[in-house]
Amino acid sequence: MKHLKSMIAASVLSLTAMPALAQQEVIWWDFLGGGDGVRMKALISDFNAEHPDIQITGTTLEWGVPFYTKVRTSAAVGQGPDVMTYHLSRLPLALEEGVLSAITDEDLANAGLSKSDFFESSINAATSDGQLYAIPFDIHALILYYNRDLLEGSDYVDANGNLTGIESIEDFEAALAWLKDNGVETPLTYQTGGDGGVWRVFYTLLSQQGGEFIVDGEVLPGDNAAKAATAINTMTRWIENGWAPEQAEYEASVALFSSGKSAFQLNGVWEVPTFNDLAAKGTLGFDWGAVEIPVLMGERASWADSHAFAIPNEGDDTISGDKRAAVMTVIGWMEKNAIRWADAGHIPAYKPVADSAEYKAMEPNATYASLADAAAFDPQSTITGVASPTYDTAINIISPAIHGYFSGEEAVEQIQQELQGLMQ
For position 97, which CATH number holds?
Answer: 3.40.190.10
Spatial separation of the C-alpha atoms in residues 242 and 325, rounded to whole Å: 56
- Looking at the DSSP assignment, which residues form a beta bridge with residue 144? 266, 291
Is there a single domain that holds both residue 97 and residue 226?
Answer: no
Q: What is the pLDDT of residue 22?
A: 64
How many domains does the chain contain in total? 2
Residue 231 lies in a domain: yes
- Per the CB < 8 A criterion, the answer to whether 370 and 382 are in contact is no
Cβ atoms within 10 Å, residue 420: 15
DSSP string, 80-143: --SEEEEEGGGHHHHHHTT-BPPBPHHHHHHHT--GGGB-HHHHHHTEETTEE--EE-EEEEEE
Spatial separation of the C-alpha atoms in residues 121 and 109, rounded to whole Å: 21
Picking from 414, 384, 383, the residue whose alpha carbon sits closest to that of residue 396 is: 414
Residue 414 lies in a domain: yes
Residue 272 lies in a domain: yes
Helices and strands, number each (H, E), in the chain? 20, 16
- Per the CB < 8 A criterion, the answer to whether 203 and 303 are in contact is yes
Radius of gyration of the chain (CA): 25
Q: What is the pLDDT of residue 424?
A: 63
Q: What are 173-200's pLDDT values in tens digits?
A: 999 999 999 999 999 999 999 999 999 9
Is there a single domain that holds both residue 160 and residue 288?
Answer: yes
Is there a single domain that holds both residue 160 and residue 255?
Answer: yes
Is there a single domain that holds both residue 153 and residue 207?
Answer: yes
Task: Note the pTM of the prediction, 2 decimals.
Answer: 0.91
Is there a single domain that holds both residue 55 and residue 126?
Answer: yes
Is there a single domain that holds both residue 236 and residue 208?
Answer: yes
Domain span including residue 64? 24-136+307-348
Q: What is the pLDDT of residue 317?
A: 83
Is there a single domain that holds both residue 131 and residue 148?
Answer: no
Picking from 146, 119, 160, the residue whose alpha carbon sits closest to that of residue 308 is: 119
Helices (H), 286-336: 321-336
Is there a single domain that holds both residue 191 and residue 58?
Answer: no
Spatial separation of the C-alpha atoms in residues 369 and 346, rounded to whole Å: 9
Spatial separation of the C-alpha atoms in residues 56 and 98, rounded to whole Å: 25
Is there a single domain that holds both residue 177 and residue 277?
Answer: yes
Angle of the 272-281 helix axis to the 250-258 helix axis, nearest 10: 40
Cβ atoms within 10 Å, residue 368: 24
Is there a single domain that holds both residue 151 and residue 283?
Answer: yes
Residue 370 lies in a domain: no
From first CA to last CA, the distance across the chain in angstroms is 84
Spatial separation of the C-alpha atoms in residues 344 and 350, rounded to whole Å: 15
The secondary structure of the chain in percent helix, strand, coil, rounded to multiples of 5, reads 50, 15, 35
Spatial separation of the C-alpha atoms in residues 287 and 322, rounded to whole Å: 51
Is there a single domain that holds both residue 261 and residue 338?
Answer: no
Q: What is the pLDDT of residue 11?
A: 44
Is there a single domain that holds both residue 316 and residue 297?
Answer: no
Q: What are 113-153's pLDDT values in tens digits?
A: 999 999 999 999 999 999 999 999 999 999 999 999 999 99
Spatial separation of the C-alpha atoms in residues 99 and 83, rounded to whole Å: 12
Residue 182 lies in a domain: yes
Amino acid letter at 360?
K
Residue 179 lies in a domain: yes
Cβ atoms within 10 Å, residue 109: 12
Which conformational region is residue 326 in: left (phi greater than 0), alpha (psi within -120 to 50 degrees), or beta? alpha
Residue 12 lies in a domain: no
Residue 365 lies in a domain: no
Q: Which residues of the chain are modeled with pLDDT < 70? A: 1-22, 424
